[in-house]
Chains A and B, each alone.
Chain A
Amino acid sequence: MLIKTRDSGYLHPVPSEITPQPAYQGRRELLRLMAGGVTGAALASWAARDARAQMSGARPGKLPALSGVRSSVSGAVTLDKLTDYKDASSYNNFYEFGLDKEDPAHNAHTLVTSPWTVEVEGLVKKPAKYALEDLLKLSAQEERIYRLRCVEGWSMVIPWVGYSLAALIRKVEPLGSAKYVEFVTQADPKTMPYVGSRVLDWPYVEGLRLDEAMHPLTLLAFGMYGEVLPKQNGAPLRLVVPWKYGFKSGKSLVKIRFTDRQPATAWNKAAANEYGFYSNVNPTVDHPRWSQASERRIGEDGLFARKRKTLMFNGYEPQVGQLYAGMDLKKFY
């Protein structure tokens, strides 16, 4: 049945259906703002504030503050959810303070971090001894949110504060003959109770190829979660190489040495068949005693959740893949 209506578009049965003039003018104003890019700017500052809120929310308030500007280095700020500070500062491998994960948080309070000097030596034009205070000011402190993948099969996401190691390397001007960088960490039996245990050779030594050390993602870190590093995390300064297994990132550094020979590194000396010099995160090359294909994100992946897939170079392949072009990563594990 045809229902005829006399509505020609001008009949409005309910007055409230009529859009009031200020409302449609407001819409025009909004469109004008968007066209002018003002909204974009407003949103950007809102987003930045939100990001900072995430950080300051995570700020534990336990140690002196150390803030950094958001890093603009490619890949330096992952959007993954941050690991709780409590987990990041109580579940650590730092064998100088004990072999269990809880030991460093209990025992590291004896470490004396001030005064602290770092010697830079070897094949460089300008070898130098840096006081910690000078190193802190050597370059602008940046905040970098990195994934951390432990060779044992767990991972965290940590907001570090520091700057690219490259800034320091440029200052000391490596010679053309320098091919590797060796990182020597503190080994003081008086303040580090497990130095001398037979697990590893002390001091704990790590190393990188010079081009790896120069990569902008290789971080010299002084803080995390907006504060100076807790002692159990490697205070007062440590290395963070996010695409390698965690043990490559030496803690409490005292010496940085430039050499022409591949350094003999601690875990490689202890078990060469299990821990190679490169130790890049690689889901396709298993540890002899366990698979590296997946990992458990601490504090996030529940007990019954399947472990998450481990990413090639810990997800930093776009940034660092070219460093290993043509290399057999099964051989150079």
Chain B
Amino acid sequence: MSAILLSPVAKPLAFALALLPFGWLLYAAIANQLGANPAEALVRSTGDWTLRFLCMVLAVTPLRVLFRQPALARLRRMLGLFVYFYALLHLLSYSWFDMGLDVADIAKDIAKRPFILVGFTSIVLLTPLAATSFNRAIKALGGRRWQLLHRLVYVVAATALLHFFWMRAGKNNFAEVGVYALILGTLLGWRIVRARGN
């Protein structure tokens, strides 16, 4: 396992796999494969993929420790940047397809609707993380401060989940929200238990 993770193709392969959802959405949008309401399909699926990558990046450390696969850490930064990538696509889809790129309308919408505010906050909080993901930033900040800053991802896990919960609340349709809550809860809970044990 660690041989695969350490091989030179591991990262490019992971990169290509992580781009697959984007590639599919792009193809489906052009080939008119997104059903009767393509705009809604794009906004929703980019949001879904943001949540999925958030789960994946938060799973790296628990899996690395539990299965003794230190090489997994090689993928963490890339997965983290893909969270930001899909989050930006999600924001862009909403701004463009729902709001017609009208900045005043978007600002009003953020102020008016708590669930949009929470979603927008999540992306804002992710921005410094993406911006300090390169090695020199880690050096410049110092390991401890960098790590502290990057713990913001735990806050984002909560706000992103709240965003999804509120979006589904109108229809009391919480089955999927529950699945993400369970996954993210387990991943964060594992960290709490581990921190207490130390």
Contact = CB atoms under 8 A, between A and B. Distances in A.
A271 B171 CA distance: 8
A290 B166 CA distance: 12
Interface of B: 29, 35-40, 42, 96-98, 100, 109, 112-113, 115, 166-167, 170-173
Contacts of B113: 288-290
A201 to B, nearest CB: 11
Contacts of A307: 98, 100
A306 B40 CA distance: 14
Contact of B173 (A90, A102, A199, A298): A199
A270 B172 contact: yes
A285 to B, nearest CB: 13
Nearest to A275: B170
Contacts of A99: 171, 173
Nearest to A87: B36
A126 to B, nearest CB: 39
Nearest to B97: A303
A296 B37 CA distance: 8
Contacts of A198: 172
Contact of B35 (A90, A274, A286, A288): A90
A289 B37 contact: no
B4 to A, nearest CB: 37
A304 interface: yes
Contact of A298 (B36, B42, B98): B36
Contacts of B29: 303
A270 B169 CA distance: 10
Contact of A91 (B37, B39, B100): B37
Contacts of A271: 170, 172
A263 B167 CA distance: 28
Closest 10 CB pairs of A and B: A91-B36, A87-B36, A306-B100, A199-B172, A298-B36, A99-B173, A303-B38, A289-B113, A303-B39, A274-B170
B197 to A, nearest CB: 38
Interface string A269-304: 011001000000000001011110000101100011
A15 to B, nearest CB: 58
A96 to B, nearest CB: 14
Q: Main secondary structure on chain B at its contact with chain A? A: helix
A163 B97 CA distance: 37
Contact count band on A:
20 to 34
Given A199-B172, A289-B170, A306-B100, 8 more contacts: A90-B35, A91-B35, A101-B37, A102-B35, A154-B37, A271-B170, A289-B166, A303-B97
A32 to B, nearest CB: 52
Nearest to A102: B35
A308 to B, nearest CB: 11
A298 B37 contact: yes
A296 B39 contact: yes
A283 to B, nearest CB: 14
Contacts of B167: 289
A101 B34 CA distance: 12
Nearest to B105: A291
Contact of A199 (B40, B42, B100, B171): B171
A46 to B, nearest CB: 33
B40 A154 contact: yes
B97 A101 contact: no
A13 B112 CA distance: 78
Interface string A159-198: 0000000000000000000000000000000000000001
A304 B96 contact: yes
Given A289-B115, A290-B113, A304-B96, A101 B166 contact: no
Nearest to B36: A91
B166 to A, nearest CB: 7
B142 to A, nearest CB: 42
B174 to A, nearest CB: 9
Contacts of B37: 91, 101, 154, 296, 298
Nearest to B100: A306
A95 B97 CA distance: 26
Contacts of A91: 35-37
Contacts of A298: 36-37
A180 B39 CA distance: 38
B36 A101 contact: yes
Contacts of A303: 29, 38-39, 42, 97
